[in-house]
Amino acid sequence: MMEFALHFFNEEPIVSFAILLAVILLVPPLFERLRLPGLVGLLVAGVVLGPNGLKLFDNTSDTMSLLSDIGLVYLMFVAGLEVELEQFQRTKLKSIGFGNYTFWVPLITGTAIGRLFNFDWNASFLIGSLLASHTLLAYPIVSRLGVVNNEAVTVTIGATIFTDIGALLVLAICVGVHSRDFTPFRFAFLLGSLAIYTVVVLVGIQRLGRAVFARSDEESKQFLFVLLALFLAAVGAQLIGVEKIVGAFLAGLAVNGVVGDGATKERIVFVGSVLFIPIFFVDMGLLINVPVFIQNLTSVQSLGLTIAIVLGLIGSKFVAALLAKLTYGYTWREQIVMWSLSLPQVAATLAATLVGFRAGILSEDVLNSVIVLMLVTATLGPVLTAQFAPDLPTSSGRREPQEVATALEPSAANGAADFTVVVPVHNPQTEQWLLELAAMLARPLGGQLVPLAIATARSQMADPQLATAIQRSQTLLATAAMVSREQGVQTTPVVRIDDSIGQGISRTSREREANLIVMGWSRRTGFQARLLGNLIDNVLWSAHCPVAIARLLDSPTQFRRILVPVENLHQPAQLVLRLAQVLAANQQAQVTLLHVLSPTLGDRRPSRSVADRAASIQTQLAQLAATYAFQTSVTVEVQVNDQIATAIATAARAYDLVILQVSPRHLISVGLPLSDLTTQTVEKIDCSILLLGSRPQYAISVDSFLSRYPVSLAMQETV
C-alpha cells in the first residue's frame, strides 16, 4: 500500500503540485509564528518531503525540475526587477566604487578559502563569487525608517547592480571553464557573445517593452509580454552557452525601466513570490542530505569550511564597507549600515550555488555551507540594520525651508476655490457616508465634489446592457447630488463610459484636475485580489493625485475621536496629518498621535535605553502636534510593543476613526513578500478606517491646498 501511494505521488504531477501549494500556504506562516524566517520553513519542508524524509518528492522528476527551474529564473528576474535604477543614477560613481570594494574583497577572500580547503582554482573562484553578491533583504527596514535618501544607503543599493552582474559573470565563466572542450578561443567567444547578448537584452527588451506598453494599457497583455521577455532572455542565454539565470537577471534590469513601480510590476513579483520562488526553496530542501548536513556540523573539515565561509563573508563585507567609509568620508554608523545591508546572501548566492552544484563544480559540503551562510546572514543583516539605521542622517533627502515654504503657498492659478474631490459611487448603501466624508474635506477649502459613475464600455454603444448601466449610473448620481447639496458643497456629477473602471476613475480625475480621490473599501481581498488585482490597486498605481480609501462603519459626522499612528518620525506623513487636521476641525474631534516603538528595532546600546528613546519620541510627537497647529485638543502617546499592528488595533478600540498611510509595498529581492504592517493593522482594527495612498511625486500639490491650516516651518525642520 505504501509503495502504491509513493508511486501515485511520483507519477501524478497534479498531486505533487497540490502538495506544493499546501506547503507554500501553511508552512511559512507556521515558522513565522515561531519567529523563524518563512524561507527556513520551505527548506525544512523540502527535507521532510524529499529523499531523506517521506520520499514524496524527487528533485530529478520532470515536474519538480520544471517548477524549480521556473522558480530559479524567476528569482533572479525579480532580483533584477527590484534594483533601484534611479538611486543608482544619483550616486553612480560612488555606487560603482563601493560595488568594486564589496565585490573584489569577498571574491578574493572566498577564492583563498577555496584554495585553503583544497578546491581547484575554478571551484575556488566560484566560491569567491558566491560571497561577492548580496541581497537587499533589509531594504524594507531602511525604507520604513525613512533613511533611503541617506547617501550611504543609496550607494549600497546602487552597488547591488555591480555585485550581482559581476557574480553572474564569474559563474558563467566558471561553468564554461568546467566544460571539457573549453579552449582560449571558446573563452574569448563566450565573452564576446555575452557582451553582445547583454546589449541586445538590455536595449532590445526595453525598447520593445515601451512600444508594447504604449500601445496597450491592458495589464494582462503587459504581464504576458514581461513573462515572454523573461523566458526568451533565459533561453537566449543558454543558446550562447551561459546559464539561464544570467539572462533572467538582465531581463529584470531591462523590464525594470519599462514597468516602473506600477500595478503590473506588483502582479509580476506577486506571481513569483507566492508560487514559483517558494517551490525553488522547497527544491533546495530536497537537495539537503540530512546525514551529510549533520556531518558538516560535526566533522572538523566540513565544519571548518562552513565557519570559514561564514566568517570570511562577514569579515570581507566589513572590510569593504570600511574602505568605502575611508574613501567617501562616511560616519561609523553609516559604515555599519552599509555592511549590514550588504551582508545577506540569498538570491544570487543560492541561485549560483545550485547551478554550480548541478554542474559538478561545487561539492555537497559547499552547498550545505552556503545554506548555513544564508540563514546566518539573512538573520544578522536585518537585525544590524534595524539597530543602527534609525539614527542615520537624512539631510540629503530633505527639502530646504524655502522649498517647503514655496510648496505650502497656494498657487494663484489653483486657488482653494478650485479644490476638486472625485468620489466614485457604486454602492448605494455606502454612497452617503462616502460623500459626507468627501464634503468634510472639500467644504473648508471652498472646493467642489465630482461624484463619478463608470459604465463599462461595450463594443457597440447601442448595446442594451450599456444603456442599463448608464441608467443605473444616473440614478446613483442623482442621489449623490442630493446628498452633496445637503452638505453645502458645489457638485458636478459625471457619467463616464470606459473599458476599465479603475482607469476611468484615474482618467476622469486627471481631466478634472482633481486634487483628491475618495473611494470606498473594495470587497475583494486575499489571494484573488492580489493575483488579479482590484479596483483600489489600479487607482492607487495610476492616479495623478492622492487617493483616500475609506471603510466607514458610521457616518463621518459622528467622528469625535481620531487616532493617527505616526510610524516614521524622520519623514512624517504630512498629508495624513493635514487630513486629520481638517476632519478634526470639522467635527471638533480629539486627535491622538500614536507611535509604537518596537524594542527590537530600537538602539540597544546601554547609553540609549528603550525608555530614553521613548521619551525622545514623545518630545518629537509633541513638537509635531504643535507644528500642525490643530484647532482641537491633541494628545500624543508612545507605546513600547513588539507587536506593532496589535498595539495600534488595541488602541483603536477607543476611537471612531483611524487614519493610516498606504505606502508602495517593497518586496525583498528574494521575491518573498515581507509581512505588510499596514495590512496586518487594518485586518485587526474594528472601527472606521481612512487609508491615504500618497506618493511623493504628488503629495505637495494637495499640501498647498491645505495650507490654510498653518504650519510652523521652523518647527517642521526641527521635527
Distances (CA, A) of 454 to 430, 499, 502, 510: 16, 9, 9, 15
Mean per-residue pLDDT, 694-702: 45
How high is the pLDDT of residue 397? Answer: 40
Report the 3 state secondary structure along 659-719: EEEECCCCCCCCCCCCCCHHHHHHHHCCCEEEEEECCHHHHHHHHHHCCCCCCCHHHHHHC
Of 560 and 36, the structure prediction assigns the larger pLDDT to 560
How high is the pLDDT of residue 127? Answer: 93
The pairing of strands 490-491 and 448-456 is parallel
d(CA 690, CA 692): 6
Of the candidate ranges 167-181, 428-442, 449-463, 604-618, the one whose mean pLDDT is the lowest: 604-618
Mean per-residue pLDDT, 8-15: 68
For the record, the C-alpha cell of 391 comes out as: 539614527
Residue 404 has pLDDT above 70, yes or no: no
Span between the terminal Cα atoms of the chain, in Å: 70
CATH number of the structural domain 407-549: 3.40.50.620
How high is the pLDDT of residue 175? Answer: 82
Report the 3 state secondary structure along 513-559: CCCEEEEECCCCCHHHHHHHCCHHHHHHHHCCCCEEEEECCCCHHHC
Instruction: Tell me the domain boundaries of the chain.
Output: 2-396, 407-549, 553-719
How high is the pLDDT of residue 182? Answer: 64
The pLDDT tens digits for 297-326 are 778 888 889 999 999 999 999 999 999 999
How high is the pLDDT of residue 412? Answer: 36
How high is the pLDDT of residue 6? Answer: 56
The pLDDT tens digits for 73-95 are 888 888 788 776 666 677 788 88
Cα angle, residue 121 at apex, residues 118 and 124 outer, rounded to 5°: 70
Highest mean pLDDT among 207-221, 396-410, 700-714: 207-221
Distances (CA, A) of 631 to 437, 584, 626, 656: 19, 8, 10, 18
Mean per-residue pLDDT, 118-136: 89
How high is the pLDDT of residue 86? Answer: 67
d(CA 493, CA 476): 10
Domains 2-396 and 553-719 share a fold: no
State the average pLDDT for the chain: 78
Fold of 553-719: Rossmann fold (3.40.50)
How high is the pLDDT of residue 410? Answer: 36
Of the candidate ranges 124-133, 207-216, 287-296, the one whose mean pLDDT is the lowest: 287-296
How high is the pLDDT of residue 98? Answer: 92
The pLDDT tens digits for 483-499 are 888 888 888 999 998 87
For the record, the C-alpha cell of 577 comes out as: 496629518
- Helix, strand, coil shares of the chain as percentages rounded to 5? 65, 10, 25
How high is the pLDDT of residue 677? Answer: 61
Residue 97 has pLDDT above 70, yes or no: yes
Q: In this structure, which amino acid lies at residue 620?
A: Q
The pairing of strands 547-551 and 688-693 is antiparallel
The pLDDT tens digits for 491-537 are 899 999 887 888 889 899 999 988 899 988 754 444 444 433 467 77
Query: 679 pLDDT band (50/70/90 cuts)?
Result: low
The label of the residue with cell 484636475 reads 513
Are the beta carbons of 275 and 100 closer than 8 angstroms?
Answer: no
For the record, the C-alpha cell of 312 comes out as: 570570511
Segment holding 49, helix H or strand E: helix 38-49
- 611's CB contacts (< 8 A; 6+ apart) are none
Rg (CA), the chain: 27
Are the beta carbons of 567 and 591 closer than 8 angstroms?
Answer: no
Burial 513-545 (b: 16+ CB within 10 A, else e): ebbbbbbbbeeeeeeeebeebbbbbbbbbbbbb
Residue 618 has pLDDT above 70, yes or no: yes
Q: Does domain 2-396 have CATH number 1.20.1530.20?
A: yes
Residue 396 has pLDDT above 70, yes or no: no
d(CA 205, CA 557): 53
Phi, psi of 211 (to 5 degrees): -65, -45
What whole-number percentage of the chain has pLDDT above 70?
81
In three-state secondary structure terms, 603 is: coil
Query: 422 pLDDT band (50/70/90 cuts)?
Result: very high
The pLDDT tens digits for 59-71 are 777 778 888 888 8
Query: 629 pLDDT band (50/70/90 cuts)?
Result: low
d(CA 70, CA 66): 6
d(CA 16, CA 355): 23
Of 638 and 671, the structure prediction assigns the larger pLDDT to 638
